[in-house]
Every structure is written in structure tokens, then in C-alpha cells.
Amino acid sequence: MEPLDRSTIWPYDERGEPGAYYYSRYGSPTVAEAEARLGELDGGEALLFPSGSGATSALVLALLRPGDTIALAEGCYFGTGVTFQALAHWGLRYVEFDQTGPPPEGVQLVWLEAPSNPFLTMPDLEAAAAHAAPVVVDSTAATPVHLRPLEHGADFALHSATKYLAGHDDALLGSVACRDPAAAAELRTFRTRTGIVAAADPAWLLLRGLKTLEIRVARQTETASLLADRLRGHGKVQAVRYPGFGGLLSFDLADGAAARRVETATGLIVNATSLGGVTSVMESRYRWEGERVPAGLLRLSAGLEDAEALWRDLEAALEQA
């Protein structure tokens, strides 16, 4: 197991020169180890940030200028638009578009999500790669187990590493893998100067989580597929969204009241936010996103519990719908 090094300083060498590590805002061994592993997984040079949203902020602030516009995948993670809105007074704009088709012209950055959370659409990566602007793919829900966006022409692959990569709901982190080493170097300098730097403790938890990433995601995919199939055959369920891989799905009940009754009636499936952990969680997204989502929409993230036990829990809760 990799050692956890919490130091913020390391001594200069005998000649008084700084070595590989000297002050942790510039770089630290545990974070660097996690970045090396993430880089292998995504096939690029990876940088770690204190959260997925921190990675998003750092990336757009480093890449864009006042007056620039981002083409943002419609129906993607609600918080990404919220982050962009928070940066609006720096002159940053965004327009939403249907990511299953080509991005609009006249934008300086294309932001996709694979698959989108909670609508579970997949982007047209080929159409986006043909666009003149750099392309970011938030592939938090796909994970590198199912998709390596840099191999499909994306310039940056971003993750909320809080989710599947760390995988145990105990570490808040974000990562960006870059196709171009020069872009990675620029982002690294920006990160050091702005101080949007990940700490050693969550990086160590990420390293531990990554050891089981493939096996967790394989199991979560199996379970989510089974639950999606069963939900499709259930009389109270109006629509099921599942892209056929990954551990995340969403489905619609008749209305918000039915969704609230069902989400609070499960036992094994915890009524909580987030996704990608070993514990199954389910929540109505209406509480956070309002009219942007159907009031009856429930998002379910499959964990590692027994799939049949999860279905029994869900089926019993659906009686309240």
C-alpha cells in the first residue's frame, strides 16, 4: 500500500536546492501517486482537485476569458450549470444544447457528460471532436472502466472522483485528465497559483478505492442492469433511463408525492444524495433541480449489496407509489 504523506514541506537537498517536493501546494507524493494512477486509467496526464466542482472551476478559469461562452450539455449534472452561473460575473456565459447532436458554433468550450446525470443520455463524441473548440467530457458516471473520452477526441476527461473512483462516500475529490501535456502543464501552474489543490488524505483514500474500481463498477453495472429491467416491467413506473452500462439509472413515478413516498420507504437503499459508492442510494432530484426534471423522477445509484435484496427493497417501496 502506498504510504500516506501528510507533510506540507520537504527539506531542500544538501546543496540547498529544492527536490521533487518542497511545498505541498506545488505537489505532494500521495497526490502525485493518485494522479499517476488516474492518468493511466484515462490515458492522459491527470490532475487532482479538491472536488469535482473545484476541477470544473479550475478548468474553465484556466481555459477561458471574459466574454467566452461554453456549450453545455442539456440535462447534465445540475451543479455544473450552478458553478458556471457563479462565474457569470467574471464574464463567463453558457448555452445549453442537445449533446446527442453537434455542439453550436461560436462557443469557446464544449462541455459534455457521459452519460448525463440524471437523464443518462450519451454525447455524440465524434460530432463534438469535429468542433473547433476544446472538448471536456465529464465522465463521472461512465468511469474509465466504460469510457476513455480522450481516445474519442476529447481534450479533457473530468471526474467527480468523489463518486465511483474513490467509491466509498468518504473522500471529496475531482480530477481532470488532459490529452495534451502542454495543457496539463498550464493547468498545473494555474492550480498551484490559485491554490485549488487536493489534500493527501482524500488522495490516499482514492488510491485505495482505485484498487477495486473495475470490480466495483462491473458489479454495479450488473446490478443496475437487473434493476432497470425489473423497473421497466413494473406497473407504477412510467419511464426508465439506463444507458446499458454503469451503476446509475433514473426512473419516473406518477408525480412528486409518489416519488417522495417511495424514496423514504426503502430500507437497504439509503435515501441520500450522491452516487458511485458501495452503498446504494436513491433520491428524488426534484428537491434540488426543481422543474428541470420531472417531479416523479428518482435517481438510483446501485451499490454492492445483493441485487435480489435490492430489488425486494425497491419493489416493496414501490407499493407506496
End-to-end CA distance of the chain: 47
Query: Which position has the grid cell 477526441?
Result: 153
User: What residues contact residue 72 under an 8 Å CB cut-off, 6+ apart?
Assistant: 80, 81, 84, 94, 95, 96, 97, 111
Minimum Å gap between C-beta 62 and ligand PLP is: 17
User: What CA–CA distance (Å, rounded) separates 201 from 9?
Assistant: 15
Smallest distance, ligand PLP to C-beta of residue 55, A: 8
Give the three-class secondary structure for 262: helix
**Nearest 10 degrees: Cα torsion 285, 288, 294, 299:** -10
User: Cα 261–264–266 angle (5° rounding)?
Assistant: 110
Tell me the closest approach of the beta carbon of residue 38 to ligand PLP, in angstroms: 14
- Residue 86 vs 309, nearer CB to ligand PLP: 86
Identity of the residue, 59 or 318, whose beta carbon is nearer to ligand PLP in the bound complex: 59
- Closest Cα partner for 248 from 213, 291, 282? 282
Question: Which residue, 171 or 321, has its beta carbon nearer to ligand PLP?
Answer: 171
Please, what's the largest Cα pairwise distance for the chain? 75
Q: C-alpha grid cell for residue 49?
A: 482537485
Whether 30 and 171 have beta carbons less than 8 Å apart is answered as no
Q: For residue 149, give the nearest of 52, 43, 266 by alpha carbon.
A: 43
Cell of 111: 462541455
Element (H, E) at 126: helix 125-129
Q: How far is the CB of 290 from ligand PLP (least distance, A)?
A: 16
**Which residue of the chain is nearest ligand PLP when measured via CB?**
52
Give contact residues for ligand PLP (rule: CB under 6 A). 51-53, 77, 79, 113, 117, 138, 140-141, 160, 162, 172, 174
Q: How far is the CB of 276 from ligand PLP (least distance, A)?
A: 8
Compute the least distance from the CB of residue 237 to ligand PLP, in Å. 23
Give whichever of 172 and 321 is closer to ligand PLP, judged by the CB atom: 172
Q: How far is the CB of 172 from ligand PLP (least distance, A)?
A: 6
- The smaller minimum CB distance to ligand PLP, of residues 172 and 281, is found at 172
Cβ distance to ligand PLP smaller for residue 162 or 225: 162
Nearer to ligand PLP, 138 or 313 (CB): 138
Of the pair 240, 275, the CB lying nearest ligand PLP is at 275
DSSP 23: B
What are 77's three cell numbers?
Answer: 449534472
In the chain, where do the E strands start and end? 45-49, 69-73, 93-97, 109-113, 135-138, 156-160, 174-178, 239-241, 248-252, 270-271, 281-284, 297-301
Beta carbon of residue 99, minimum distance to ligand PLP (angstroms, whole number): 13
- CB 170 → ligand PLP: shortest distance, Å? 13
When the beta carbons of 301 and 321 are compared against ligand PLP, the nearer one is 301
Three-state DSSP class for residue 136: strand
Cβ(26)–Cβ(192) below 8 Å:
yes
